[in-house]
Structure 1
Amino acid sequence: MKGPRGAGDRATTAAYLLGWALIRYVPERPGRWVFTRIADHAWRNRLGGVRQLEANLRRLLGPDASQAELRALSRAGMRSYMRYWYESFRLPAMGRERILDRTRSTGIEVLEAHVAAGRGVVAALPHMGNWDHAGAWITLRGTPLTTVAERLRPESLFERFVAFRESLGMEVLPLTGGAGHTAGVLARRLRAGGLVCLLADRDLTSQGVEVAFFGEPARMPAGPAALALATGAALMPVSLWFDGPYWGIRVHEEIEPPPRGDRSARVHAMTRELARVFEGEIAEHPEDWHMLQRVFTADEAGTAPGAGAG
């Protein structure tokens, strides 16, 4: 997420700081109502990333879906996205028991067993559900984690995001511009048997792997697979979604490196398999895929049908 410059920077920072400062003290029912109204306003007026969200969801629904179906799904998607923000702002006030008791998970025991045995794990996640909650949840279960954050503008907002996630028990490294080499730090954490969690359904480096995603070419980051291959860590996809008042988390089976091929071919194969798992989970919970940015190659090139259309 990147904000505009100048006055826009200040307004964006003020809005986030207000959210962190006030939401935890507002009664939950009116707080959720306000965030739902914000979602509906953005959806109705197609503000922010709503147009791109719909372009992404169009791939998921297929060409035969009606405009009404697409609009209904994008409305549900914006409500889910604003639920993510509301609950993230409120996380510090939720309390340990609520976070633990309202989370329904499968497969986490395998991940925790790897870490307990001294084997690192790369948990690769799509932009689904609430990844801040998932990070807080697993640290409350006794497994610390390291993650990477895209550097935001202005710097004060980025620093606030880092401080917020660190307050939840996470180690947060900058994607770019850090004092150390982020990839090297991640590798050291994995070789020491740690958990590294990375959002992995959108390439931010222009050096990603082209994959088939909902029938179209898309680019996804090579980093998760490359780190797992270099360190011997387990590459485990993780999907997140909302289930009424609960949070759903599924840790999938490890994606193992192919037995043959050079490093590049093995990284590509693992990333393509990661995309396949993501595709299935997003199709299962499409309203909880918070992808308001470009991810498909045709959109990046501006050649998708209706690309840039109003």
Structure 2
Amino acid sequence: MKDRITLIAYLLGWWIVRTLPEKTAYSLFYSIGELTHRRNGKSIQRLRSNLHQVKPELNEIELETLVAQSMSSYMRYWCDTFRIQNWSTERIRKTVTTTNENFLLDPMNDCRGVVVALPHSGNWDHAGAYFCSLGIPLVTVAERLKPEALFQKFLRHRESMGFEVLSLDSRSFITLVKRAKEKRLIALVADRDLSQSGIDVNFFGSNARMPAGPALLAVKTGIPLVVAHVSYTQTGIHIDFHEVQVPTQGSETERIEETVQIIAELFSVGISQHPEDWHMLQRIWVDARNESSEGSN
């Protein structure tokens, strides 16, 4: 029954947001963000803790302002996500600006394929839709949501924009290796993985755990690895690309671990510049220092 209620709520909300006038839809979502912030539930407390780790120099008022800005950005993400199917190809292209786009386009034009690692920043669906609009075949992986019907709804949503979406399971990596050999663009959100397979990294001065997937693909297949950071602009999004020099010395395990650390450091650059657009409302740091600071909020 709970799953059915969740599904109905999502589908009803999705329909309402797509049919409302644009200004009204965004105003509604911003109001929801403000209400959520004021209630100060566990997700907001976690967001505050995470942002404190990123910006420890902020005083209490400055930090709370940043939390409010982050919730507004997060609500913009959800409103964008629900409405993007209404956008024309022209609108998608006009609302995207980039820096160092050649790090992605050059190898794709040379038919080499690329694996892109992204943090939970800005709107990665918007970024993916942009590259699909350029005729670039994009593959990504998604964790299965409950209920299953909701997962299928998001699956069809992304497929309608040109994505190939693989379910996160034991077979997905094998398929990704195949897609790498087929010279596809593989985009993986990669700033959080608390499973046993995650790689420990130093991230903003504390121990975090991130997935090995992008590094593992780059090391095993030799395709170029790029980090992309998506941030919001007044009219859309900006994507900043950084080329990753994958280490060539050491064992495969050492190369993968070193590459994940490089990815973490590049993530920190973009997040430091646009902390309000980092939508991390879940636990990411695993060391005692972060846990103790979270408890003080």
Shorter chain as normaliser: what TM range?
Answer: over 0.9
Q: Are the structure 2 counterparts of residues 48 and 304 from structure 1 closer, same or farther at C-alpha, using a change threshold of 3 Å?
A: closer
Q: Secondary structure at the match of 1:305?
A: helix
**TM-score (norm. length: structure 2):** 0.95
Which of residues 203, 224, 230 is equivalent to 1:234? Answer: 224
| Corresponding position of 1:39 | 33
| Corresponding position of 2:19 | 25
Give the partner amino acid of 2:163.
Answer: M
| Corresponding position of 1:195 | 185
Point out the more displaced range, 35-44 or 14-23: 14-23
Cα contact 2:206–2:290 (8 A) shared by 1: no
Which of residues 260, 269, 277 is equivalent to 1:271? Answer: 260
Equivalent pairs: percent with the same residue? 41
Q: Secondary structure at the match of 2:292?
A: coil
- Alignment of 1:52 with 2:41, yes or no, is no
Shift of 1:110: 3.0
| Corresponding position of 1:217 | 207
| Corresponding position of 2:245 | 256
Shift of 1:303: 6.7
- Alignment of 1:292 with 2:286, yes or no, is no
Runs of 4+, deviation exceeding 3 Å: 306-310
Point out the more displaced range, 22-31 or 223-232: 22-31
Give the partner amino acid of 2:12.
Answer: L
Tell me the matched-pair count. 297
Once residues 204 and 156 of structure 1 are traced to their aligned partners in structure 2, the CA distance between those partners, rounded to angstroms, is 26
Once residues 100 and 44 of structure 2 are traced to their aligned partners in structure 1, the CA distance between those partners, rounded to angstroms, is 33
Shift of 1:250: 1.3
Q: Secondary structure at the match of 1:219?
A: strand
Q: Secondary structure at the match of 1:210?
A: strand
Shift of 1:136: 0.7
Once residues 183 and 288 of structure 1 are traced to their aligned partners in structure 2, the CA distance between those partners, rounded to angstroms, is 29
Q: Are the structure 2 counterparts of residues 306 and 258 from structure 1 closer, same or farther at C-alpha, using a change threshold of 3 Å?
A: closer
Cα contact 1:135–1:145 (8 A) shared by 2: yes
Q: Secondary structure at the match of 2:291?
A: coil
Unaligned runs of 5+ in 1: 1-5
Which of residues 86, 101, 104 is equivalent to 1:108? Answer: 101
Cα contact 2:137–2:162 (8 A) shared by 1: yes
| Corresponding position of 1:130 | 123
Shift of 1:44: 0.7
Cα contact 1:42–1:48 (8 A) shared by 2: no
Shift of 1:302: 9.3
Which of residues 76, 88, 95 is equivalent to 1:95? Answer: 88
Shift of 1:103: 0.8
**TM-score (norm. length: structure 1):** 0.92
Once residues 128 and 253 of structure 2 are traced to their aligned partners in structure 1, the CA distance between those partners, rounded to angstroms, is 30
Once residues 49 and 158 of structure 1 are traced to their aligned partners in structure 2, the CA distance between those partners, rounded to angstroms, is 22
Once residues 202 and 42 of structure 2 are traced to their aligned partners in structure 1, the CA distance between those partners, rounded to angstroms, is 27
